[in-house]
Amino acid sequence: MKFFRPSVSPWRNFFKAMCVVVLFMALHAVASYLLHYTSFGDSLVLTCLTVAMVFCVLALYDIPLDIFLSLAFLSCFAGFWMGTEIPRRIVSSGVEPGIDIHVITTAGVTLVLGLVNIFISNSINRHKK
């Protein structure tokens, strides 16, 4: 797809990558809202969405496959840990548990992971040249 081809302008790549991250942030939030309290759970869907987000962001920066695999692996583990630990700490501080805590945390963690992948990809591209 033409959208995922790296651009000459670093700002254009950043804008495209942020669009991808915001789209996946919304998808993560919807998946968390719809699947969190089901018997299936939301873990598998959120993991697949995280890998897809990392792939799309890294495709914009033309990052090699080995780095993609490393970042996808780390992003999934970091996302799972932050996505379970943050709501646990919020609930233990006295806030009443609810789906809103999980949805907001999922969206926030996705945004952080997306930004980290963008900045890592950007720094890898700067050192390539």
**Is 129 within the bounds of a domain?**
no
**Is 3 within the bounds of a domain?**
no
**Is 2 within the bounds of a domain?**
no
Half-sphere exposure of 31 (CA within 13 A, CB side): 20
**Is 96 within the bounds of a domain?**
yes
pLDDT in tens, 47-97: 999 999 999 999 988 889 999 999 999 999 999 999 999 999 998 988 888
**Is 58 within the bounds of a domain?**
yes
Model pTM score: 0.89
Pick from 71-75, 79-83, 101-105, 121-125: least confident: 121-125
**Is 25 within the bounds of a domain?**
yes
**Is 111 within the bounds of a domain?**
yes
- Domain hosting residue 30, numbered range: 10-123
The count of structural domains within the chain is: 1
pLDDT classification of 124: cutoffs 50, 70, 90: confident
**Is 75 within the bounds of a domain?**
yes
pLDDT in tens, 18-49: 999 999 999 999 999 999 889 988 999 999 99
**First and final C-alpha spacing in the chain:** 24
